[in-house]
Amino acid sequence: MHAVVFQVDMKEGRDDDTRPELEQLIGSVKTVPGFVRGTWTTDGSKGVSMVIMESEEAALEMAANASIPPEASVVFRSADVLEVVGEA
């Protein structure tokens, strides 16, 4: 398995938009071939998510296709693909 670790910055004054956008994103991500599970986190100013995919190929494809519309409540920073080497 491989993880895609996404990092975003939250736009100031857009707190009310974040939850609906995230719910829509999660619904879409769950339908991506190879999806296993995902976790989305924030401290209010930045967000980090980890999406676990069945294979490196699926993770690389997800990372390569990552984009956020300019009108979204967050700004895309990065998407890194990492091998899952352990879980608890």
Work out whether the CA dihedral 74, 77, 83, 88 comes out positive or negative: negative
In the chain, what percentage of residues exceed pLDDT 90? 91
pLDDT given for residue 87 in this prediction:
94
pLDDT given for residue 15 in this prediction:
82
Q: Is residue 88 part of a domain?
A: no
Give the single-character DSSP code of 51: E
Domain holding 35, by residue range, is: 2-83
In the numeric block, the tokens 């979204």 are attached to 72
CATH at residue 17: 3.30.70.100
As for how many domains the chain has, the answer is 1
Coil, strand or helix: which one is 72?
coil
Q: Is residue 76 part of a domain?
A: yes
Q: Is residue 57 part of a domain?
A: yes
The answer to whether 4 and 79 are in contact (CB under 8 A) is: yes
Q: Is residue 63 part of a domain?
A: yes
Residue 16: pLDDT band (50, 70, 90) is: confident
pLDDT given for residue 65 in this prediction:
93
Q: Give the pLDDT mean for 37-52.
A: 96
Give the single-character DSSP code of 86: -
pLDDT at 56 over 90: yes
The answer to whether 4 and 51 are in contact (CB under 8 A) is: yes
